[in-house]
Amino acid sequence: MSARARIGAAAPYGVLLGLAAYLFRVADHLDFTRTEGRLGPDFWPKAILALLMVTCGYELLRRLLRAPGGQPESAVIGEATTVEDMEPEAAPPARHPYLLWSGAGLTLLYVASLEVLGFFTSTFLYMLIFMRLGRYRRWPVVITTSLCGSLVFMFVFMKIVYVSLPLGSEPFSAVSLLLMRLMGIR
């Protein structure tokens, strides 16, 4: 790979790294009153931007320091000497655009249902239906993952990040309030 091609492959990561550094600086100058024992509103944006900068820096260096003339692994045939020795090419993966559109519709329905069903119930149903839509058929795994995922998201957002999530209308708000009490969320 020529130096020009390596620079071209690394350029988007350099631009994103610069943008993330600028936004980190902006987030560093947010005006707010610090509360003892709580993370400020600048913490999560800065944490995400720091991770983005580390990732972009890694990719930038990886692409710039790539050995010149290096071939991608898919281009190396290896020990095959005849056509019979080579493995046949795999068929292209099947495409299912209706699944894509169904997932997008389900996501819109999820957002619309948050106020009525509350975060926990909406997220549980969203994860359950999304996995089934994605053709995962093992019910015990689907139900367990949906339940645990919803509880973990609720705990992280409400207890750690301090985001106020929709509780839902009755009777769904009763479920949300019970779960909050059990997890020690005020």
Structural domain boundaries enclosing 12: 3-69
Q: What angle do CA 76, 81, 82 make, to 5 degrees?
A: 115
Are residues 64 and 121 part of one domain? no
102 in a domain, yes or no?
no
- The confidence score (pLDDT) of residue 105 equals 92
Tokens of 135: 């053709």
Q: Is 154 part of any domain?
A: yes
Within a domain: residue 75?
no
Residue 88 lies in a domain: no
CA distance 122 to 106: 11
Are 52 and 16 in contact by the 8 Å Cβ rule? The answer is: yes
Which class for 185: exposed (0-12), middle (13-18), buried (19 or more C-beta within 10 A)?
middle
pTM of the predicted model as reported, rounded to 2 decimal places:
0.56
pLDDT in tens, the chain (186 residues): 688 888 888 889 999 999 999 998 888 877 777 777 777 777 778 888 899 999 999 999 998 887 665 544 444 445 555 555 556 677 788 887 888 899 899 999 999 999 999 999 999 999 999 999 998 889 999 999 999 999 999 999 888 887 888 999 999 999 999 999 999 887
Same domain, 115 and 63: no
Q: What is the pLDDT at residue 87?
A: 65
Name which of 101, 100, 119 is nearest 110 in CA terms: 119
* pLDDT in the model for residue 36: 79
